[in-house]
């Protein structure tokens, strides 16, 4: 090396830390589950970071092909990702830095654990698991393989909810809070009763079912309406309560509830194939604070402006919070209202993207930025897998309480329900062979 080359090399090395993020090597991304929310998540990641989506996986060939075309138009390289029908084959390539898991709930645990084993960082949708032991195994895998895992509980990254937490709860504007009500009154439960049919030729229904019990194929199952069945998830409790319970836990810095009790069932909408509860109440007891959940998939909401949200009751005032807004109503003084933040000027493609929840897009972007920052720092993101485990398991325990007809007391140190052998036997669902249920001690 001559003197000129030496000076050029040392000057470039000195300048390297100052290079903007956009000039660093793009992270290589793969996604498992290319349906509705998979695309919502992945396209937000493309918006905020210089990533290269190299692989997509789905058991629906049509959905997979459509996602590959969309990604090619949105990522900087304009390259079409490779496509796979089996997540194991995709992960065996060992050429990924990040994997997004946006499958139905019953397919979260096994791909997440396998991704951790291959050395990638993981984004996994909520709720992380369909049973408690799955979630325990996922947490164990993340810690054993030292992976950063962000759970798609993006209320923690929603701009107006961060503001509400900082402005009113952290500053104790509500005073002592003894009760929080969380709720969902959307008419979201399937009401029809279509006949069973053969699965469409473009869907690998055997692989779609995976470790879940095999049901006859029905149009209610795919696409997007599989939440009608407990075989694949945990009903409205596992879908909607998990968001609001997690939001409350984050806002108030809560851990596990001491006890959980729940009641409900299919009380009104009895004409559908759906087997999830249409009505349910649950009490999450945090000792001096009670968090009460209610859902009804029928009738009117008590407050039409807040059909899905949380109401914090304090001695000095009330705070209502949802994905669309917040309202602070003090006992004395003027109320404060704030609507959701949109970012159409910065991200004009949000206006036209098919099926995008536009009011949620800023929250997903914020959640992705937090995930990437945690990867860089090798730290825990705002919705770390442990938080996902607590929130998902609490909702699963509520369903078990409703099933058994009694309150459950959780022991976080033992990952067991106290003094209830029958309930503990329900913490692990049976897997359909050849799939094997993950063991937290052997991940």
The per-residue pLDDT of the chain, averaged, comes to: 95
Name residue 322's beta-bridge partners: 309
Rounded to an integer, the average pLDDT of 352-363 is 97
The CATH number given to 156-349+385-424 is 3.30.360.10
Task: Give me the percent of the chain exceeding a pLDDT of 90.
Answer: 94
Domain spans of the chain, in order of start? 156-349+385-424
Closest CA to 181 of 304, 268, 298, 306: 306
pLDDT at residue 3, rounded to an integer: 42
Q: Which helix (H) or strand (E) holds 310?
A: strand 308-314
Closest CA to 122 of 104, 141, 137, 105: 141
Rounded to an integer, the average pLDDT of 412-439 is 98
Q: What is the DSSP string of 228-289?
A: GSTTTS-HHIIIIIHHHHHHHHHHHT----SEEEEEEE-SS--SSS--S-SEEEEEEE-SS-
pLDDT in tens, 270-304: 999 999 999 999 999 999 999 999 999 999 999 99
Q: Which two tokens stand for residue 280?
A: 């349910």
pLDDT at residue 224, rounded to an integer: 93
Could you tell me the pLDDT band of residue 409, with boundaries at 50, 70 and 90? very high
Q: Which residue has the tokens 């810095």?
A: 253
pLDDT at residue 25, rounded to an integer: 87
Q: Does the predicted TM-score (pTM) go above 0.85? A: yes
pLDDT at residue 13, rounded to an integer: 39
Instruction: Give how far Cα 150 sits from Cα of 112, 135, 198, 380, Å.
Output: 11, 14, 37, 8
Collapsing DSSP to helix, strand or coil, 94 comes out as coil
Helices marked H in 322-384 — which ranges? Answer: 361-377
pLDDT in tens, 89-145: 999 999 999 999 999 999 999 999 999 999 999 999 999 999 999 999 999 999 999
> Residue 432 carries which DSSP code?
P
Q: How far apart are CA 395 and CA 275, in angstroms?
A: 17
Could you tell me the pLDDT band of residue 265, with boundaries at 50, 70 and 90? very high
Q: Return the beta strands (E) in 71-113 as ranges.
A: 82-84, 98-101
């Amino acid at each position: 090396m001559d003197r000129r080359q030496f000076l050029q090399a040392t000057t470039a090395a000195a300048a390297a830390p100052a290079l903007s993020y956009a000039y660093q090597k793009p992270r290589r991304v793969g996604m498992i589950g290319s349906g509705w929310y998979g695309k919502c998540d992945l396209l937000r990641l493309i918006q905020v970071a210089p990533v290269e989506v190299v692989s997509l996986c789905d058991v629906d060939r049509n959905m997979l092909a459509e996602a590959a075309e969309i990604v090619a138009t949105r990522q900087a390289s304009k390259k079409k990702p490779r496509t796979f029908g089996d997540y194991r084959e995709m992960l065996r390539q060992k050429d990924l830095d990040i994997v997004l898991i946006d499958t139905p709930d019953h397919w979260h645990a096994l791909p997440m654990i396998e991704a951790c084993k291959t050395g990638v960082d993981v984004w996994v949708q909520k709720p992380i698991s369909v049973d408690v032991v799955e979630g325990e195994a996922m947490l164990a895998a993340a810690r054993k393989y030292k992976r950063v895992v962000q759970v798609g509980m993006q209320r923690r990254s929603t701009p107006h909810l961060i503001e509400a937490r900082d402005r009113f709860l952290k500053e104790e504007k509500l005073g002592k809070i003894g009760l929080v009500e969380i709720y969902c009154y959307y008419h979201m439960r399937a009401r029809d009763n279509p006949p069973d049919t053969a699965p469409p030729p473009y869907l690998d229904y055997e692989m779609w079912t995976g470790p879940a019990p095999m049901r006859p194929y029905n149009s209610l199952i795919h696409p997007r309406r599989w939440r009608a069945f407990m075989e694949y998830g945990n009903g409205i409790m596992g879908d909607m309560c998990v968001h609001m319970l997690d939001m409350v836990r984050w806002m108030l810095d809560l851990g596990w509830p001491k006890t959980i009790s729940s009641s409900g069932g299919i009380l009104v909408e009895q004409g559908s194939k759906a087997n999830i509860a249409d009505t349910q109440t649950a009490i999450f007891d945090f000792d001096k604070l009670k968090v009460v959940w209610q859902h009804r998939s029928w009738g009117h909401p008590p407050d039409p402006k807040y059909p899905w949200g949380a109401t914090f009751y304090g001695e000095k005032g009330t705070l209502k919070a949802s994905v669309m807004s917040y309202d602070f109503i003090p006992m004395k003084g003027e109320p404060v209202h704030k609507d959701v933040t949109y970012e159409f000027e910065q991200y004009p493609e949000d206006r036209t993207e098919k099926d995008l929840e536009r009011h949620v897009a800023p929250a997903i972007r914020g959640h992705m930025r937090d995930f990437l920052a945690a990867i860089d720092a090798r730290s825990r993101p705002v919705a770390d897998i442990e938080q996902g485990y607590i929130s998902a398991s609490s909702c699963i325990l509520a369903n078990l309480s409703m099933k058994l007809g009694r309150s459950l007391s959780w022991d976080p140190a033992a990952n067991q329900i106290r003094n209830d052998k029958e309930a503990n036997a329900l913490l692990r669902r049976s897997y359909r062979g050849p799939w094997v249920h993950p063991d937290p001690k052997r991940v």
